[in-house]
Amino acid sequence: MKALVLDIRPEEWDFTTGLNFTDVLEPKLDESKEPADGSKVIIQPLYTGFCGSDKSIWFRHAFKDLIFNSLSMNGSGRRICGHELLGEIVEVGSYSAKVYGYRKGDIVSTESHIFCGRCHQCKIGDAHVCSNHLIIGISIDGCFADYVKLPAKELWKTDPDKIRPEVAAVQEPLGNAVHACSRVDLRGRTVAVFGCGTIGLFTILVARAMGATTIIGVDSNEKNLKLAEQLGVDEVFRVSADMGVEPNSEIVEAIRKRCFGEGVDVAFEMSGSNQALNTALSATRAGGDIILFGLSAGDYTLTNFQEIIMYGKSMHSVVGRKVFQTWYTTSNLLTSSGHNLQDKIYDIILNKGEGTVFPFHQFDRDSFEKAIQEHPKIVFKY
């Protein structure tokens, strides 16, 4: 079968880019040899999403150790990437059928963080921070392939009559925004989103649907801010690209002015910029909340630690999705008639499919690399 793989040696990491479109062996279910296959299924992808993390692998910005450590553990020389999936089940392990009720032909998406079900966090319902988690497309083979083998317990049944397939394929990253927006009550609140890339744009949509009244978008990229405006933010502020770590006082003033002179109720830091983090902290009113999702490599400096304590500001970090609470909320939001989330995602974030939907089997490295730098989200059609 065809697959998009990382098949370089560790020492080639620093002077290569991209993924290799190549032939690999199909995954099989064989319960007689591998009893664990009983709890798995084989899925044929229909649409898959290219994640920010896939982009970091493409450009060799992150995940080197995770990938190569997992490869040396399974004695393999290549990893099939991809974890944002909409696909059709084509083969079902006996336990997957008996216990989970999956059948051939079922259409599913998948949680990308495979949880163990046995550790402390899993046992108390915090499986999104499982101690033994594996990430699809990083620590096990992923869905940029004709077939992918996945555990039944991770799957999310999806009704293609209710959610259009290009959007259904990005339920997992949309879930990051849903998780972020679920950390605090947004009803009637003023909100600023720092970083209007893919998850920032999703956050704008979800925050609105969850009742935020004033939404401000902040970014250094003009194109991102255009998209934020098309999605209906109330105001955008353009910052110059990163200038160290001190808060951007102009942006802090402008946001305070917009929000009763005090600052927003809730700031979302989605960019990973150290300066944006400190700006977000200062632009949040006393007693407000800062939701942290953006992350870059290296150390961060908090220039306003005193402010956090003395003004009673709360910081919350977000990783992955609550399994499966976030998935239920995401599905409810997508199928609600009130917010047109699907149309906004398809028409604006996916640019009505123009330049954003790539036929998987006609993979062309150059045009693909251009597209992932131009659009917030790219999907493969199989």
- Rounded to 5°, angle at Cα 135 from 132 and 271: 110
Residue 291 interacts with Zn ion (CB under 5 A): yes or no = no
d(CA 225, CA 218): 7
CA separation (Å) from 69 to 16, 63, 78, 237? 19, 10, 12, 42
Question: Which listed residue (29, 51, 163, 350) binds Zn ion by CB under 5 A?
Answer: 51
192: tokens are 């600023």
Binding mask 107-146 for Zn ion (x = CB under 5 A): --------xx--x--x-------x----------------
Residue 175 interacts with Zn ion (CB under 5 A): yes or no = no
Nearer Cβ to Zn ion (139/275): 139
d(CA 307, CA 314): 10
Stretch that binds Zn ion, among 50-58, 62-70, 160-168, 279-287 (CB under 5 A): 50-58
212 φ/ψ angles, rounded to the nearest 5 degrees: -65, 140
Shortest CB 252 distance to Zn ion, Å: 31
Beta carbons of 20 and 144 less than 8 angstroms apart: no
d(CA 221, CA 255): 18
Q: Write the DSSP string, 305-374.
A: HHHHHHTT-EEEE--S--TTHHHHHHHHHHH-SSS-HHHHIIIIISGGGTTTEEEGGG--HHHHHHHHHH
For β-strands 357-359 and 314-317, DSSP reports them as unpaired
Stretch that binds Zn ion, among 160-168, 170-178, 193-201, 326-334 (CB under 5 A): 170-178
Shortest CB 9 distance to Zn ion, Å: 26
Binding mask 271-290 for Zn ion (x = CB under 5 A): --------------------
Nearer Cβ to Zn ion (82/263): 82
- Rounded to 5°, angle at Cα 229 from 232 and 199: 85
Shortest CB 372 distance to Zn ion, Å: 13
Residue 173 interacts with Zn ion (CB under 5 A): yes or no = yes
Stretch that binds Zn ion, among 5-13, 173-181, 202-210, 269-277 (CB under 5 A): 173-181
> With contacts defined by CB under 5 A, how many residues of the chain interact with Zn ion?
7
Shortest CB 335 distance to Zn ion, Å: 21
Residue numbers at the binding site for Zn ion (CB under 5 A): 51, 115-116, 119, 122, 130, 173
